[in-house]
Copies of this chain bind each other. A is one copy, B any other.
Amino acid sequence: MTRPPVIIVNFKTFAEATGERAVSLAKLCEDVSEEHDAGIAVAPQAPDIFRVSSAVDIPVYAQHIDWIQAGSYTGHVLAECVREAGATGTLINHSERRLSLADIDSCIRAARRTGLMTVVCTNNIATTAAAAGLNPDFVAIEPPELIGSGVPVSNANPDIVKSSVEAAKRVAPDVEVLCGAGISKGEDVRAALALGTSGVLLASGVVRAKDQRSALLDLAGGVSRA
């Protein structure tokens, strides 16, 4: 069984997606997700997970967890804590929050122990193959030079997406691949799916859009099962 296509909206630490505005944006994502039968998940900042997950019924992801278990770790993000706050998944190793190889592996184990879906972010084909070797649920390939560029990776570099899917599947047939960087339109999402991905990871394309609702509607058109 293949999971339906997914759009993960990373709220980063954008002012437009902090606190009350994180809740509003998550509700917008929920509305569009329901109207269009599209799988949209949101990844708010850690302090916003609880209030966001209390307000919506779509999947809420953490942006990061640490490799730790419960114990003496100040200022760390415990998988069990984000889970109890309502998250059902987590990004791991985003390009803005790189982790050591050993810690990525430990985070995947911590997430699995806690029942969180895992999305490991990577930057090229080789690291996608490597991440797949750790058996996360998803690997999200994001060429760093395209992040926040407005130039969609599925357009600028379809080969890196296609080869990443192939490399990941060769190492771990069950892992699913997302792509990110520069995604902002439904056609970008369709292109990404046509290249073998299971969806997209994006941020500024929605969060910083002049009209967040329109941006979401356009994107949802790209994955809609309707």
Contacts and interface: CB of A to CB of B under 8 A. Distances in A.
A171 B133 CA distance: 8
A132 interface: yes
A14 B76 CA distance: 11
Contact of A18 (B62, B81, B126): B81
A134 B43 CA distance: 29
Contact of A74 (B12, B73, B81): B12
A146 interface: no
Given A70-B15, A96-B76, A101-B99, A85 B130 contact: no
27 contacts: A13-B68, A13-B70, A13-B73, A13-B74, A13-B78, A14-B72, A18-B80, A19-B85, A45-B77, A47-B49, A48-B50, A51-B85, A64-B75, A72-B203, A73-B96, A75-B96, A75-B97, A93-B100, A98-B100, A98-B103, A101-B127, A105-B123, A105-B130, A126-B133, A126-B135, A131-B133, A171-B171
Interface in A99-117: 99-105
Contacts of A186: none
A78 B74 CA distance: 16
Interface string A26-53: 0000000000000000010111111100
A63 interface: yes
Interface of A: 10, 12-15, 18-20, 43, 45-51, 62-64, 68, 70-78, 80-82, 84-85, 87, 91, 93-105, 122-124, 126-127, 129-135, 147-148, 167, 171, 203-204
Contacts of A123: 102, 105
A74 B102 contact: no
Contact of A105 (B18, B74, B100, B126): B126
A77 B96 CA distance: 12
A92 to B, nearest CB: 9
Contacts of A148: 72
Given A74-B91, A96-B74, A148-B72, A48 B104 contact: no
Contacts of A64: 74-75
